[in-house]
Amino acid sequence: MKNIVILISGGGSNMKAILQTARDRDWEKRFGAKVSRVISNKQSALGLSIAEEFNVKTSVVEHLQYKEATNPREAFETELTKVIDQDAPELVVLAGFMRILTPQFVNHYEGRLINIHPSLLPAFTGLHTHARALEMGCRFAGVTVHRVTPELDHGPILAQAVVPVLKGDTESDLASRVLTQEHLIYPKVIEELLS
């Protein structure tokens, strides 16, 4: 069985789209694959209860529990790696996981770690992508699924979807339009990687 581990920090809407697609399109039968675990760095993440509704095992590795460590990020990632590696995943999917990962962590999952980013990379790496697109007067925005490399939001692009920026758009309007595409493109990319 090809295991997929999904990392989240919040509501998990992309995770839900992946879980729904996996169920609807029977990934176990088609690809010999399943989402084996969802891990959050926040106990309060609403996505955890959604994962449980899909009968997916959940774990929490709170990054704040390691703030007193000599190297908090390293201590957090060491524990996170232990939990992920229990499932020997074929893919580790970042779905709204709001932690910047160290090169050591990224290299451990080289070729297996993917992310979704709400811009047309290489434009607007990092945060506040929709506000920045609006400030720059972009006529198009979108979403990118990419392999994760040590350099933030710079890995090889696997797929992109484009949405128009409409006159009078607010940051929220644009984010909503992009999110609709995120929910379509992310499961599709995972299917392509599994096949």
Q: Which residues are catalytic?
A: 117
Neighbours of 98 (CB within 10 A): 13
Tokens matching residue 124? 């607007």
Q: DSSP label at 94? A: E
Angle at 52 between CA 51 and CA 53, to 5 degrees: 90
Beta carbons of 95 and 14 less than 8 angstroms apart: yes
Residue 191: which of 21, 38, 7 has the closest Cα? 21
50: CB partners within 8 A, 6+ apart: 12, 15, 16, 19
Beta carbons of 32 and 2 less than 8 angstroms apart: yes
Strands 113-117 and 140-147: antiparallel
